[in-house]
Chain A
Amino acid sequence: MAKKKSSKGTSNEEERKSTQAVNAVPAVEDKTKSTSASDEDEDDEESLGLLQVDLGDILKVKQVLDEATASALVEGTDLEEDLQLENIKLVLMALACCFAMVAQFAPLPFPNSSYIIGGCCIVYFVFSGVLQLISIFIEKDSIVIIKPPPKTFQVQGKRIRVQSSFAKFEEWYVVEMEYEGLPNSPFVRQKWSVGDLFDAEGFFDDLYFTQEVQKLCKRFETGDYDKEDEKETTKGKSKKD
C-alpha cells in the first residue's frame, strides 16, 4: 500500500500537485523492476491519481465502475460502442433547448403572442418527457451498447447490451451482457465485491477490473453463458461462498 502511494507521487506531474512531495529514489527503484510490475505501477498511478473515491458515495462508486466497464470493453478491443441512442438523445436535447430559447428570448410582445410562447413551452416539455421515457424504458440500467460484434461471437447481427446494477448499501457490483432484441437472449453475469476492486481508502484497481471485464467478455464471446436459475440465486441476499 505504502509502495503504491510513493510511486504515485513521483512520475505523474499531476499527482505532484495534489499529493505530498516524494523523493525520486522510490521511482528509480520501481523502474528497475520487471516491466509488467512497472506497467502495473504506471497504470495504478494513473488510476490512483484519477480515481480515489469516497466509498460511502454510492453513486460515485457506481459511476466509476460503469465508466471502467465501458472503457474495458471498448478500448483496445474489436468491439465498438454503438452511439445511435446517444446521438438521438443529444439531438432531442438540442431541439428542446432551441424551442426553450425561442420561448425565453424571442422579443415578442407578451400578451398578444402568448400562444406562440405557450406552444414553445409545451413542445419543450414534450421533448423533455420523451427523453425521460427513453431513459426509463429504453435505457433502463444499461451502461453501454456495443455494435454487432465480429465473427468470433456466437450470435451475429445483434447489438450487445451491457447493464450493471449496484444495490444500495450492498457490496456487490453486477455486470450482465446480453444480446439486444433477442427474446431469452443468452447472457453472462458476473459480480464483484467492492472490497475486491477498491482499497480501504478508496483507490480503484483499474487494471484488475479491466482484466476481469475482458474475461467476462471472452466468456460471452465463446458461448460460456450463465443459466437462467443463476438469476434467482444472485438476487437472494445469502452468499453461497
Chain B
Amino acid sequence: MIKDIIDKQVFELRKLWLNKRQLLFQVLNLAMIVFSALMIWKGLMVVTKSESPVVVVLSGSMEPAFQRGDILFLDNSKHHVGVGDVVVFKIKDRDIPIVHRILKVHTRPDNITFELLTKGDNNRVDDRGLYAPGQLWLRREDILGKAVGTLRYVGMVTIALNDYPVLKYVLVGFMGLFVLT
C-alpha cells in the first residue's frame, strides 16, 4: 500500500522532470508559498520594529498569566516601557529570549535613557541572578518588544519541532511533495 503511494509519487516526479517548463512552474509555485510565509514574517518585523515579533513561552516562570506553549505577539515600536509591562528581552551573549514583567524603571534626567529590572511572576526573586555577570540593570536595547497579544497552546508545535529537529525536515518534505505533485 505504502509502496504503491511511493511509486506513484516517484512516477509523478519523473513525469515532471521530463516536462521542464512544468517543473519550473511547480518549483516557482513552491517558492512562492515559502516566500509568502517568510514575507509575512518580515512584514511583521518591519511593522513591530522587533527582531522577533512572535515568540513562544518556553518556561513556566510567568504562570498563571502565560503558560509554556503560549504564543506571544510583540511590539517594539514605542521607546518607553513602564512598570507592569510584560516584555521579552535577551541577555547579552545568550541565545534564548526571556519573557518577564518589569519591576522597576530608573529614568535618567534626559527622560530618554532608562534602566530596567525584571522578574517572572512565578519566580521568588528578581532577574538579577539571570543577567550577565556584573550586570544589575537591563537597557532598552536589550528589550525585543512588549507583549501585546497572546494565543494559548498554539506554540506547542514549535516546542515539539525544537525538541525533535527531525520533525522539521519531515514536515517540510511532506509539504514539498504535496505541492510538487
* B39 proximity list for chain A (CB < 8 A): 100, 103-104, 121, 124-125
How many pairs, one residue from A and one from B, have CB atoms within 8 Å of each other in the complex? 61
Nearest neighbor of A97 in chain B, beta-carbon distance? B31
Does A196 count as interface, using CB distance less than 8 angstroms? no
Known: A18-B7, A111-B49, A117-B46. A100 touches B24 (CB 8 A): no
Does A141 count as interface, using CB distance less than 8 angstroms? no
A121→B46 contact, CB < 8 A: yes
Nearest neighbor of A54 in chain B, beta-carbon distance? B8
B45→A110 contact, CB < 8 A: yes
Does A14 count as interface, using CB distance less than 8 angstroms? yes
* B21 proximity list for chain A (CB < 8 A): 83, 86
Q: Pull 13 A–B residue pairs with CB atoms less than 8 Å apart, ordered by A.
A: A18-B4, A100-B38, A101-B35, A104-B38, A111-B49, A114-B49, A117-B42, A118-B43, A120-B42, A121-B42, A121-B43, A125-B43, A131-B32
* A17 proximity list for chain B (CB < 8 A): 7
Does A94 count as interface, using CB distance less than 8 angstroms? yes
Does B59 count as interface, using CB distance less than 8 angstroms? no
- CA of A18 to CA of B39, assembled, Å: 42
What are the interface flags for B24-49 relative to A under an 8 Å C-beta threshold, 1 for contact and 0 otherwise? 11001101100110110011011101
A103 CB, nearest partner CB in chain B, Å: 5
Known: A93-B32, A128-B32. A117 touches B45 (CB 8 A): yes
- CA of A18 to CA of B14, assembled, Å: 15
Nearest neighbor of B31 in chain A, beta-carbon distance? A97
Chain A interface residue count, Cβ-Cβ cutoff 8 angstroms: 27
B46→A96 contact, CB < 8 A: no
Does B139 count as interface, using CB distance less than 8 angstroms? no
B177 CB, nearest partner CB in chain A, Å: 15
A214 CB, nearest partner CB in chain B, Å: 21
> Among A97, A104, A120, which residue has its beta carbon within 8 angstroms of that of B28?
A97
Nearest neighbor of A60 in chain B, beta-carbon distance? B181
B94 CB, nearest partner CB in chain A, Å: 19
* A89 proximity list for chain B (CB < 8 A): 25
Q: Which chain A residues have a beta carbon within 8 Å of chain B's beta carbons? A: 14, 17-18, 50, 83, 86, 89-90, 93-94, 96-97, 100-101, 103-104, 110-111, 114, 117-118, 120-121, 124-125, 128, 131
Q: Interface extent on B, as a size class? A: 20 to 34
Q: Which chain B residues have a beta carbon within 8 Å of chain A's beta carbons? A: 3-4, 7, 11, 15, 21, 24-25, 28-29, 31-32, 35-36, 38-39, 42-43, 45-47, 49, 51
B43→A96 contact, CB < 8 A: no
A96→B42 contact, CB < 8 A: no
Nearest neighbor of A87 in chain B, beta-carbon distance? B21
A50→B35 contact, CB < 8 A: no
Nearest neighbor of B3 in chain A, beta-carbon distance? A18
A96→B32 contact, CB < 8 A: yes
Known: A118-B46, A124-B39. A50 touches B11 (CB 8 A): yes
Nearest neighbor of A83 in chain B, beta-carbon distance? B21
* A131 proximity list for chain B (CB < 8 A): 32
- CA of A17 to CA of B6, assembled, Å: 12
B29→A93 contact, CB < 8 A: yes
Known: A50-B11, A110-B51. A103 touches B42 (CB 8 A): yes
Known: A86-B21, A90-B25. A128 touches B43 (CB 8 A): no
* B25 proximity list for chain A (CB < 8 A): 86, 89-90
> Among B32, B46, B47, B51, which residue has its beta carbon within 8 angstroms of that of A97?
B32
A190 CB, nearest partner CB in chain B, Å: 26
A14→B11 contact, CB < 8 A: yes
* B7 proximity list for chain A (CB < 8 A): 17-18
B180 CB, nearest partner CB in chain A, Å: 13
A100→B43 contact, CB < 8 A: no
Nearest neighbor of B51 in chain A, beta-carbon distance? A110
A142 CB, nearest partner CB in chain B, Å: 16
* A121 proximity list for chain B (CB < 8 A): 39, 42-43, 46
